[in-house]
Structure 1
């Protein structure tokens, strides 16, 4: 009699006291921005696990770790071989030429490889930006695989810190964000939807700025902004905004949806 997957996992836990950690991989290839340090050195920055400044994802990374996940990075184009060790794959703010003179654009082969990985059970998170700060044409090659399209616009524009409410997103009875009630998302692009794709979060005017769909055994979530980087989950927002809870909610949800449980390329 064949043992079920969950039976194997339970047996492993009983024998060892642990189970294999799910691996959350952040793209470092399509997003590859650099700047000059005070010492004149060229340094990677913007939406990196190890970046502890406001521009980084170190806080969200710590949340994933607190849920038992292992963090990894992917410095090359996604292929079947180098996605094999990943449960959750996150692509954030692919470079335009304004951000990188030699950007690595998402190609059709990349979109095909990622779609096959999702179909087999992976969880993909795509995080865009307002159209002035992200390369959308090639990103939409990937988004279109799942009935999603990042639009060339800007929703929930926030002028300055005196106008946080312009970026308020009210959350109620949401299948993903179960503890957060009010999020802050500013200057996001809207997302056009078709097929099985459904809105996940909406701007005040009713346009979708986050979406979700199932694809084969996998799950895809699209967000029109990098959103959960350190600046907006580190306590800087006024009381009443729940971005820290939203970051935890999203981490819990995507880990619960994983059908792949490998472990590789640990960051630390």
Structure 2
């Protein structure tokens, strides 16, 4: 029996195959909503989750960074419970940002030894982990560092790039031109961050003076990116920074770099 496929049939077949290939290669970027779980009372008087959310368009959200990931073909997801082998399985990139202190949450979910074990194995098998800290007054570093230590990193209890007020933006400037992490951004703004100490296979990816601000590590089949601040939230990526700062471009650069680290997709 002979089958003939006309022009429309060929196009439909091409579309089906292309869609299938895209779905196979689509990378899921998962943002933690468990270790950082800040809640406030909204205008209606109800308790509402906020701070570093994909769908949060306010200055405190990550909607612009999320759009950058989507621009590069990724799918966004969230994880509102402790990481497990099962619930991390579909994620190509897992982002943990600014774990809560008791000041931010009455019952913070600290990173446990079990959490560290699960995440370590996930990275070793090819996961791309992003750890975003903060200045030591605004992040829970003790337990976060038990995770960072597995990859030769340690977030320090210090304050770098201190910016007094908006009249001193240049105190938060970091030159990123010709840095492999930043293909298009030449200068970024990063305010009140902690530095990172490295050992073993961890490497300094960005420094300000002698302080390491961003570090990377290869671990098994996976990759780890550590930053001393949650700096890619909307307040600093929405184009409102003074001329010369390119955090919006940096969000795109970092997204592209992270996705390129995912095994078998490059």
**TM-score relative to the length of structure 2:** 0.91
Distance 2:73 2:186 in 1: 25
Corresponding residue for residue 73 of structure 1: 78
Q: What is the Cα deviation at residue 217 of structure 1?
A: 0.6
The 2-side partners of 1:77 and 1:110 are apart by 7
Match of residue 181 from structure 1 = 186
Q: CA–CA distance in 2 between the matches of 1:151 and 1:165?
A: 23
Compute the displacement of 1:173 (Å): 2.4
Whole-angstrom CA distance in 1 between matches of 2:14 and 2:260: 17
Match of 2:242 among 226, 238, 249: 238
Normalized against structure 1, the TM-score is what?
0.90
Once residues 181 and 172 of structure 1 are traced to their aligned partners in structure 2, the CA distance between those partners, rounded to angstroms, is 4
Rg comparison, structure with higher value: 2
Q: Distance between the aligned counterparts of 1:23 and 1:260, measured in 2?
A: 14
Residue pair 2:178, 2:186 contacting (<8 A) in 1 also: no
CA distance in 2, matches of 1:46, 1:15: 39
Tell me the equivalent position of 1:139: 144
CA distance in 2, matches of 1:146, 1:100: 27
1:30-73 C-alpha deviation (Å, 9 max, x unpaired): 00000111221100000010111000000100111111100000
Cα deviations by residue, 1:91-127 (Å, 9 ceiling, x for unpaired): 0000000000000000011011101101111100000
Find runs of 4+ consecutive structure 1 residues off by over 3 angstroms. Answer: 12-15
2:62 matched to 1:57?
A: yes
Find the residue that maps to 1:100 and give its secondary structure. Answer: coil
How many residue pairs match? The answer is: 249
- Deviation (angstroms), 1:206: 1.9
Alignment root-mean-square deviation, CA: 1.5
SS at match of 2:126: coil
3-state SS, counterpart of residue 217 of structure 2: strand
| CA-CA distance at 1:16 after TM superposition | 1.4
Give me the whole-angstrom Cα distance separating, in 1, the residues matched to 2:29 and 2:105.
25
Which protein, 1 or 2, shows the higher relative CO under an 8 Å CA cutoff with sep ≥ 6?
1
Mapped to 1, the partners of 2:101 and 2:58 lie a distance apart of 22
> Of 187, 205, 214, which residue of structure 2 is paired with 1:200?
205
Query: Does residue 88 in structure 1 map to residue 93 in structure 2?
Result: yes
What residue ranges of structure 1 are gaps of 5+ in the alignment?
A: 1-11, 262-268
Instruction: Indicate which of 107, 127, 132 corresponds to 1:127.
Output: 132
Tell whether the 8 Å contact from 1:146 to 1:213 is kept in structure 2 after alignment: yes
> Unaligned stretches of 5+ in structure 2?
1-12
- Larger CA deviation: 12-21 vs 168-177: 12-21
**Aligned counterpart, 1:213:** 217
Does the residue aligned with 2:31 lie in a helix, a strand or coil? strand
Secondary structure at the aligned position of 1:26 is classed as: strand
